[in-house]
Amino acid sequence: MANLFQKISEKQISRRTFLAATAAGTASLALAGCGTALAPVGANYDAAAINGEGQWIPAACWFNCGYKCYNAALVVDNVVVRQKTDDTHPDSFNNPQLRGCLRGRAQQQQAFGVDRIKYPMKRKHWEPLTGGDKSLRGKDEWVRISWDEALDYVAAELKSAKEKYGNSSILMPTWGDNFCDFYNAINGFGGYTTVQDTSSVGTYLHVSGILGILPAGMNDANDRLDLLKSETIVLYGCNPAWASAGLPSYNLVHAKEAGAKFIYVGPSYNETANLVDAKWIQVRPGTDTAFLLSIAYVMVTEDDPLSNPIIDWDFLNRCTVGFDAEHMPADAALNENFKDYILGKYDNQPKTPEWASEICGTPVQDIVWYAKEMRKDKKVTVLHASAPARCNNADDFPQILMTVAAMGGHFGKPGHACGSGQYYQSTNCGPNLVMMGASGAPVIPNPCTDIITGPELWDAVLSGKYNRTGPALWGDLASVGPKDIDIHVIIHSWRNSLQTTQGIKKGIEAHRKVDFVVSCAYSLNASAQYSDIVLPIVTQWERQSSYFYLGFYNRDVQFFPSKVVEPLYEAKSDQWIGIELGKRLGIDVSQAYPLTEEQQYLNIIAGTTVINKEGTDYETLVTITEEDLAWWASKYGKTDGKPQQGRIGLKELMEQGKYQIERHEGDNFGNITYEAFVKDPKNNPLGSKSGKFEIYCQTKADRINAMGRSTLKPYPSYIQPLNGYEQSFKDWGKKIKGDYPYQVTNPHYLRRAHTGFDYLPWLREAMPNPVFISALDAEEKGIKDGDTVLLTNPHGKVLRQASVSQRLMPGYIELPHGTWLELDEATGIDKSGSDNYLCAPITSGQGVSGYNTQLVNMEKYDGAPLTPDHLWPMRVVKL
């Protein structure tokens, strides 16, 4: 192998030949430990880069990473030799460069990593239609097979399952039918059982629209120029420095320079809080509703319209229902209201700061201070993530956060907002200024109606029963209830559900129970590892097509990446797989896949519109000439299109790779969410039944209670979380801790996007993925920084190195989300620190994925200490 590398360095073979050669013998390349990438960015490629060889191509950065930025790749001979981020124009606040994070800049290792799955493969001891020795799933060897064999096998398994047990025996955990073109084949074949997971948005999923706030509680704060007008910015359980890497931190720093004071509310002083020097209001995970109820109590009891005006009564009266007995909605079935609840009328427990403090750990004086900071004469923006809503029994968190903001009148006015600070629109909410067109591809709906709630998934596979509560999301309460389910096939595509769903131990059992498991994957993630057949897919650098996250981000911009390199090895696109599988399943693929991927992308580009100068309407963005169409067809194959007139030529746009609107104060593009409603609620009603913010929401209680897991009040009230702080005690009254005394949550960690990127050695080295523990707990347990610690609970055991810090509340642990399972079945210990190995596969209320209400025990590990992750061998498949 050393010879091959020598040859490359001596440039005796071209890089294309290098790839071809390694394609035949990559396993030995990796085994010889020759590096971590097939085409390392190193000395040999410097020459090419320095000599100005190759071409810079705007490149996709497509993972579910929380933001979107500009990235480009320098390509020499089908190899990416360099990457860079946005240098397309000078940087300014009005027209910022959209610079990428460390993950985007490491995509080269993703595409060219030695661990790429290169060929279709099957498990050595797998047998068609029986599964062979199923107990070997996860630890078997792999055998290379041809695409024809692989697709024939998959089709035969699907046909057999359909014939014997019906389509609902095929499970495919997805984010929706229009997510990935692969699904049209399965839907055309009769569909599959799907999963409803509240994952990202937690309890916002079921309550947002009906309360009056925007769907999923997303994209509903003001835009980034308005942020500069706020006096107080609350980061409520919100960490854009990690979870929306890219522009948001820059926007926050500008707001700080413009004079805003920051507050951070949560169990740890995170990177964003640190960046803007926020005042830390400590709140234990899962207890935010208690905290905010006491804020409302202080606001009510301290308010005096003349001497101490805190509450915006005009706002409450005009824009909300259910605050007090005088403002109840017409459909109220319960003669109770929010104000009397917090004053203790119904349960003899006023929601005082002292009451809350015992639960949420916030000092009483901080509760009183925060309540006063929410006063109506302050310009307050509350930017929340959904981390506090990703807790068991947090169904009322969205409503109480909304209620407190409404009490201060912090909606729909310049400098005032309460909305999402997470995800793609973080710090810049509002309608897109550049809107993507449609691909024209059909979405075949899923005829199968079985829909399992995420945390109950593996139990359903194992027990054959589940509680079908998904339809309540669209108000169909009649069909909610217990149901039988008989899963025989699991398909993993576009998700890594074995790793990202609670209860990995049960997940493995479920994988070993069913007849057949197939995965589409780049590298051997947990879902692929426990499969019978793995199909290699191209990265989005290897195809000229739209990608899912296109269109969902920062309203100022749209990105237009191009194919960077030709497909590596035998990897294929999802659509190709869909077509080839579809043919074998006997569906009409010309109906399911009438358009090539390149055609769909051209349609999207041609249909893209941009806001006009007046900010009143959208106009066509791209000018396309006959010559452009010929150019596109010559590069990407036969495509149809018509010439059109817009602002920028097709070629120029594709070279530029993005179209960004420069903003300035006073332009016509600003956004104040809910502004029209707040000015004139009657003529601009919200999506709730009353048309107002519902502090009393009958629909919320009716829908969620119909699922059979809770008895919520229509107004926000505190319900003790499953596996929350209170349950960490054996005796709450005497404050005696139980067997699992620590609370743990799973921050979204900058080394990866969920499980994506986690296997790239550069990133492993840059971010070691420790478990974060408080200095006080560390001292009590004799744990020093860097020590290996063991976290245990009834669901699993994991190891990680401790990062000891003053930034966490005592009793609280952060175990970063999304590692790659490294399970030793003999000891039952996962040394990668998988969050979902510890997360209980249970749920509450609306069926929330309550990742952030989990309990564990922690000890210093007395076995061999962990070595750093970046020194672990990469998961290279030997074929």
Ligand X SMILES: Nc1nc2c(c(=O)[nH]1)N[C@H]1C(S)=C(S)[C@@H](COP(=O)(O)OP(=O)(O)OC[C@H]3O[C@@H](n4cnc5c(=O)[nH]c(N)nc54)[C@H](O)[C@@H]3O)O[C@H]1N2
- Residues at the interface with ligand SF4 (CB under 6 A): 61, 63, 65, 67-69, 71, 100-101, 103-104, 245-246, 753
* Closer residue to ligand SF4, CB minimum distance, 243 or 722: 243
Which partner, ligand X, ligand SF4, Mo ion, none, binds residue 288 by CB below 5 to 8 Å per kind? ligand X
Which partner, ligand X, ligand SF4, Mo ion, none, binds residue 574 by CB below 5 to 8 Å per kind? ligand X
Q: Which residue carries 């169409």 as its tokens?
A: 629
| Cα–Cα distance measured from residue 290 to residue 357, given in angstroms and rounded to the nearest whole number | 8
Shortest spacing between CB 62 and ligand SF4, in angstroms: 8
Polymer length of the chain: 879
Shortest spacing between CB 284 and ligand SF4, in angstroms: 29
* Closer residue to ligand X, CB minimum distance, 283 or 452: 283
Would you say 536 and 528 are in contact if contact means Cβ atoms under 8 Å apart?
Answer: no
Shortest spacing between CB 6 and ligand X, in angstroms: 33
DSSP per position, 538-606: --TTS--S--TTTTSS-TTEEE-----SPPPTT-B-HHHHHHHHHHHHT--HHHH--S-HHHHHHHHHH
* Closer residue to Mo ion, CB minimum distance, 200 or 834: 200
What is the maximal distance between C-alpha atoms in the chain? 85
Backbone region of residue 12 per phi and psi (left: phi > 0; alpha: psi in -120 to 50; beta: other values): alpha
Other Cβ atoms closer than 10 A to 306:
5
* Closer residue to ligand X, CB minimum distance, 120 or 388: 388
Determine whether 810 is exposed, middle or buried from the number of CB atoms within 10 Å of its CB (0-12, 13-18, 19+): middle
Q: Which residues bind ligand X (CB under 6 A)?
A: 62, 64-66, 180, 199-200, 237-239, 242-243, 265-268, 270, 283, 285-286, 288, 385-388, 391, 422-423, 493-497, 500, 520, 522, 525, 537, 540, 574, 745-750, 752-756, 817-818, 835-836, 839, 851-852
Which partner, Mo ion, ligand SF4, ligand X, none, binds residue 285 by CB below 5 to 8 Å per kind? ligand X
Structure tokens at 208: 């947002």
Shortest spacing between CB 102 and ligand SF4, in angstroms: 7
Other Cβ atoms closer than 10 A to 301:
13
Structure tokens at 108: 């080269």
Residue type, 519: S
Spatial CA neighbour of 681 closest among 418, 319, 220? 319
* Closer residue to Mo ion, CB minimum distance, 200 or 268: 200
Q: Applying CB under 5 A, does 200 fall inside the site for Mo ion? A: yes
Shortest spacing between CB 771 and ligand SF4, in angstroms: 23
Structure tokens at 616: 């009143």
Q: How far is CA 458 from the centre of its chain?
A: 21
Which partner, ligand X, Mo ion, ligand SF4, none, binds residue 69 by CB below 5 to 8 Å per kind? ligand SF4
113 bridge partner residues: 37
Long-range own/partner contacts, residues 730-739 (CB < 8 A, 24 or more apart): 738/855, 739/857
Shortest spacing between CB 148 and ligand SF4, in angstroms: 35
* Closer residue to ligand SF4, CB minimum distance, 411 or 559: 559
Q: Applying CB under 5 A, does 425 fall inside the site for Mo ion? A: no
* Closer residue to Mo ion, CB minimum distance, 200 or 769: 200
Nearest residue (beta carbon) to Mo ion: 200
Shortest spacing between CB 461 and ligand SF4, in angstroms: 32
For helices 288-302 and 353-360, the axis angle rounded to 10 degrees is 160
Shortest spacing between CB 205 and ligand X, in angstroms: 11
Shortest spacing between CB 66 and Mo ion, in angstroms: 8
* Closer residue to ligand SF4, CB minimum distance, 97 or 843: 97
* Closer residue to ligand X, CB minimum distance, 168 or 499: 499
Shortest spacing between CB 84 and ligand SF4, in angstroms: 11
| Cα–Cα distance measured from residue 288 to residue 623, given in angstroms and rounded to the nearest whole number | 51
Spatial CA neighbour of 609 closest among 600, 617, 599? 617
Q: Please give the span between the terminal C-alpha atoms of the chain, in angstroms, as a whole number.
A: 17
* Closer residue to ligand X, CB minimum distance, 79 or 528: 528
Binding string, 150-189, against Mo ion, x = CB under 5 A?
Answer: ----------------------------------------
H or E element at residue 508: helix 504-513
| Cα–Cα distance measured from residue 223 to residue 842, given in angstroms and rounded to the nearest whole number | 38
Which partner, ligand X, ligand SF4, Mo ion, none, binds residue 750 by CB below 5 to 8 Å per kind? ligand X
Which partner, ligand SF4, Mo ion, ligand X, none, binds residue 653 by CB below 5 to 8 Å per kind? none
C-alpha distances in Å from residue 64, one per residue of 104, 513, 695, 702: 12, 30, 33, 33
Shortest spacing between CB 57 and ligand SF4, in angstroms: 15
* Closer residue to ligand SF4, CB minimum distance, 212 or 421: 421
Site residues, Mo ion (CB under 5 A): 200
